[in-house]
Amino acid sequence: MPLPPSSLLLLLLLLGGSPARGTPEPPLPTVVIAVLARNAGYSLPHYLGALERLDYPRARLALWCATDHNVDNTTEILQEWLAAMGKEYAEVVWRPEGEPRLYPDEESPKQWTKERHQFLMELKQEALDFARAWGADYILFADTDNILTNNQTLKFLIGEGLPVVAPMLDSQTYYSNFWCGITPQGYYRRTSDYFPTKNRQRQGCFRVPMVHSTFLLALQGEGVDQLAFYPPHPNYTWPFDDIIVFAYSCQAAGVSVHICNQHRFGYMNVPVKSYQGLEDEKINFIHLILEALVDGPPMQPSAHVFLPPKRPNKMGFDEVFVISLARRPERRQRMLSSLWEMEVAGRVLEAVDGGALNSSTIKSLGVDLLPGYYDPYSGRTLTKGEVGCFLSHYSIWEEMVTRGLERVVVFEDDVRFEAGFRKRLERLMEEVAQEQLPWDLIYLGRKQVTWDEEPAVEGVRHLVVANYSYWTLAYALSLSGAGKLLAAQPLGKMLPVDEFLPIMYDQHPNEDYKGHFSPRDLRAFAVRPLLAFPTHYAGDAQWLSDTETSTIWDDDTQATGWSGSRKTLRDPRLDRVGSSGHSFHSTSHDEL
Ligand SMILES: *[C@@H]1O[C@H](CO)[C@@H](O)[C@H](O)[C@H]1NC(C)=O
Ligand SMILES: *[C@@H]1O[C@H](CO)[C@@H](O)[C@H](O)[C@H]1NC(C)=O
Ligand SMILES: *[C@@H]1O[C@H](CO)[C@@H](O)[C@H](O)[C@H]1NC(C)=O
Ligand SMILES: *[C@@H]1O[C@H](CO)[C@@H](O)[C@H](O)[C@H]1NC(C)=O
Ligand SMILES: *[C@@H]1O[C@H](CO)[C@@H](O)[C@H](O)[C@H]1NC(C)=O
């Protein structure tokens, strides 16, 4: 007897004939996300953008949002966002408190008083109580200036199957959201495990006594029902601080705490010490956005909240140039995005692509090698990339003179900006103008070659007279400076542009090279501490140099590599406290 068509289908299904067959995936665990926001207007758009992009079904997430004591738009931003996105979540608890704006004994909106700590512990406890009552599997605490740029973070943390686990967050400084030790008095202690973990020299999930800011807490499992933020454990005698209280609670309940650093999960904003107001916090946060543009994944604001419009300008300069190769569009885009974030109006200068020049074109441009020039480290002569680089800078100097531009900033396309770059540069230029300092060139980023202490410039904080330096990564140039550089007619006696500049201010150690140029009266200075660094160094995983890795200028067959050239190696003086990371440049992180 022939089977009816529907039975046939059923049979096929039972036999595995359909790809849809099989037991349905069990639903993902439910998670309450605790959002405790206060004066977070500068970071909330990016924070909420990251929440939206988490790769996790919103129907399995509940939001517990509280905000209080604000002097900024925090409440409005959260309201606006919840109105647009709230309905997609399984549940939303919204706990705004309009007044008061400050705690009784508080002087600034970011100060941490005892009342603030206590209130925060009570809020966290409320969020935890809600999550337990709602029957959630997990609760994720995530501070509103922690941006989880990695959309897999929540799935990853759940997948680890640990009771208390934090995704290690990167920051502008050596801070992160964990500590490897506690002192007998209950304070944070940095142990020898800290930097290898922070710098990802060891990778994995590691047991630590303390995590904070962003962490996932399992609500099922042994001991976790005893965890609490408030009131503190009866035996508690340590400082009254929500981080330490919770660490103690974990310890007392015998619940392990872990930090995981296998991936870049996101970023945490570390407040400046010399806090002057929320404006400083915003500048600091912009720096974090720039860091994420370099190291990735980048931050993106939510499309559902109001963003103050950006109004880029040239910071008082006549032009801000970005020398960029057309065949490196990611670098160009990153530089333009970075400048946009700082509200700097940059202009792309199409770099001369040395790699596309052959030796006959180079000669037809009137380029000839400085007699006897050899790279001091590799012993090789000029590369085509170095020729292209020189010609690119040269074309800016020409444009300055043609258009009569009084002062410009020149960036190459691989700049990592220091915190407060814009504000610090503007302040520097104000002081230079006030002192009526005659200047031709100011290095904003460079590699100092000599170890000598350079004389400070009187009346201008953070400026020194430049000795022999490498790199042309970022500098300010005046019209008189451009005139001097052109008058030296360097194309017919070319050497790398970062060797040419020190010759022109008479600090190059090679007397033979200097003999070809006269006068050497460029007035060159350098900011101290530096405001710009290269994004990557020779030997770094992502390192790529278009000047040092190309062919010899007059030989189209012989390739040159960077090995042997030490110019772009990291300067060990810049690496503090055992870091291998760039973030330690921030000698002046405390002062924007
Ligand atoms: C998660 O982020 C990655 C990298 O940014 C992206 O390619 C991917 O599409 C994102 N996944 C989801 C589900 O949004
Ligand atoms: C607060 O938001 C409103 C619009 O929602 C905006 O006009 C105003 O400039 C914002 N204020 C601040 C301090 O961001
Ligand atoms: C708290 O203190 C009491 C009395 O000293 C002690 O018996 C108890 O074991 C302590 N509990 C914890 C978790 O340390
Ligand atoms: C060099 O490049 C120019 C312009 O691209 C081209 O016209 C010329 O034929 C090239 N010469 C050699 C020797 O390849
Ligand atoms: C620059 O450094 C060199 C070499 O270390 C030193 O001899 C020279 O005096 C320095 N120049 C100035 C102007 O300080």
Q: Which pLDDT tens digits describe the chain residue by residue (592 residues)?
A: 444 444 444 444 444 444 455 677 889 999 999 999 999 999 999 999 999 999 999 999 999 999 988 888 999 999 999 999 999 999 999 999 866 666 666 666 656 677 888 889 999 999 999 999 999 999 999 999 999 999 999 999 999 999 999 999 999 888 999 998 888 888 888 789 999 999 999 999 999 999 999 999 999 999 999 999 999 988 898 888 889 999 999 999 999 999 999 999 999 998 776 656 778 888 999 999 999 999 888 999 999 999 989 999 999 999 999 999 999 999 999 999 999 999 999 999 999 998 888 888 888 999 998 988 877 666 678 888 899 999 999 999 999 999 999 999 999 999 999 999 999 999 999 999 999 999 999 999 999 988 889 999 999 999 999 999 999 999 999 999 999 999 999 999 999 999 999 999 999 999 999 999 999 999 999 999 999 999 987 666 665 667 766 677 777 766 655 444 556 666 555 543 333 333 333 333 445 5
Nearest-CA residue for atom 7 of ligand 2: 308
Ligand 5 probe mutation, 507, 508, 511, 514, most atoms within 8 A of CB: 507
Residue 312: phi and psi, rounded to 5, are -70, 145
Distance CA 580, CA 174 (A): 11
How confident is the model at residue 276, as a pLDDT? Answer: 67
What are 18's two structure tokens?
């359909």
Residue for token pair 């399984």: 90
Cα dihedral 341, 344, 345, 350 sign: negative
Q: What is the distance in A from the centroid of ligand 3 to the CA of 235?
A: 6
In ligand 5, the atom with minimum distance to the C-alpha of 455 is: 14
Fold of 310-591: Spore Coat Polysaccharide Biosynthesis Protein SpsA; Chain A (3.90.550)
The per-residue pLDDT for range 454-482, each reduced to its tens digit, is 999 999 999 999 999 999 999 999 999 99
Nearest-CA residue for atom 11 of ligand 2: 73
Nearest-CA residue for atom 5 of ligand 1: 297
Nearest-CA residue for atom 14 of ligand 3: 252
How confident is the model at residue 289, as a pLDDT? Answer: 97
List 463's β-bridge partners, or say none: 527
Residue 235, ligand 3, Cβ within 6 A: yes
Distance CA 201, CA 55 (A): 28
Closest ligand to Cα 226: 3
What are 1's two structure tokens?
């007897």
- In contact, 522 and 501? CB cutoff 8 Å: yes
| Residues above pLDDT 70, as percent of the chain | 84
How confident is the model at residue 383, as a pLDDT? Answer: 87
Residue 72, ligand 2, Cβ within 6 A: yes
Residue 452, ligand 5, Cβ within 6 A: yes
Amino acid letter, 385: G
Give the chain's mean pLDDT: 87
Fold of 5-9+30-282: Spore Coat Polysaccharide Biosynthesis Protein SpsA; Chain A (3.90.550)
Cα dihedral 516, 522, 527, 532 sign: negative
**Exposure string for 381-411, b = 16+ CB within 10 A, e = fewer:** bbbbbbbbbbbbbbbbbeebeeeebebbbbb
Domain(s) labelled CATH 3.90.550.10 in the chain stretch across 5-9+30-282
